[in-house]
Amino acid sequence: MNNGRPPYPHVHQVSVSDGGVPKRPVFEAKVSKDGMEGDRQDNLKFHGGPDRAVCLYSVELIERLQDEGHSIDAGLSGENLTIAGLEWDLMQPGVVLSVGPELQLEVTGYTAPCRKNGRWFRDEDFSRISQKLNPGWSRVYAKVLREGIVKPGDAVEIKS
């Protein structure tokens, strides 16, 4: 079942915030080497910067977390791009993605879960999305190889 989604990997939601979480959906966003237009992080020690310009997560993992009773939803845990239809186990450092007609990203690492995400998890157990404790369930950070505009529905393709 694809819930009415396109039959190819694509951007499910584009999200930004004026600082921290949750991030809210927008129709589109310009993505530069420094990150997404209209987006800001509260703690630049752990978030943001050129190697962590964009945070990505899987809508299918979010739905599985919801099935476990967590109240998480797209954008709430701080991801900028919620991706649908992509085999998330392939999202490892070094993977290059094309997103829409212009944007190109390279996964740089796994995103450490933040205590501010506790409210989206039963018993505040935000470690549920920790790569160290639950491999394959983490959000990922990416740097921008080619800038562009991104919007929901844009195709996502693994290039390498």
Q: Please check whether residue 154 lies inside any domain of the structure.
A: no
Is the pLDDT at 42 greater than 80? The verdict is: no
Q: Please check whether residue 32 lies inside any domain of the structure.
A: yes
Burial class (CB in 10 A: 0-12, 13-18, 19+), 5: middle
Is the pLDDT at 43 greater than 90? The verdict is: no
Task: Using a cut of 0.85, tell me whether the model's pTM lies above it.
Answer: yes
Cβ atoms of residues 60 and 84 within 8 Å = yes
Res. 3 pLDDT band, cuts 50 70 90: low
Q: Please check whether residue 1 lies inside any domain of the structure.
A: no
The phi and psi torsions of 96 (rounded to 5 degrees) equal -105, 135
Q: Please check whether residue 36 lies inside any domain of the structure.
A: yes
* CATH number for the domain harbouring residue 90: 2.40.33.20
Q: Which residue segment(s) compose the domain that 144 sits in?
A: 10-148
Work out how many domains the chain is built from and give that number: 1
Q: Please check whether residue 106 lies inside any domain of the structure.
A: yes
The confidence score (pLDDT) of residue 16 equals 93
Q: Which residue is it, tokens 């740089």?
A: 108
Q: Please check whether residue 156 lies inside any domain of the structure.
A: no
Q: Please check whether residue 5 lies inside any domain of the structure.
A: no
Q: What is the mean pLDDT of residues 43-72?
A: 84
Q: Please check whether residue 112 lies inside any domain of the structure.
A: yes
Amino acid residing at 97: L
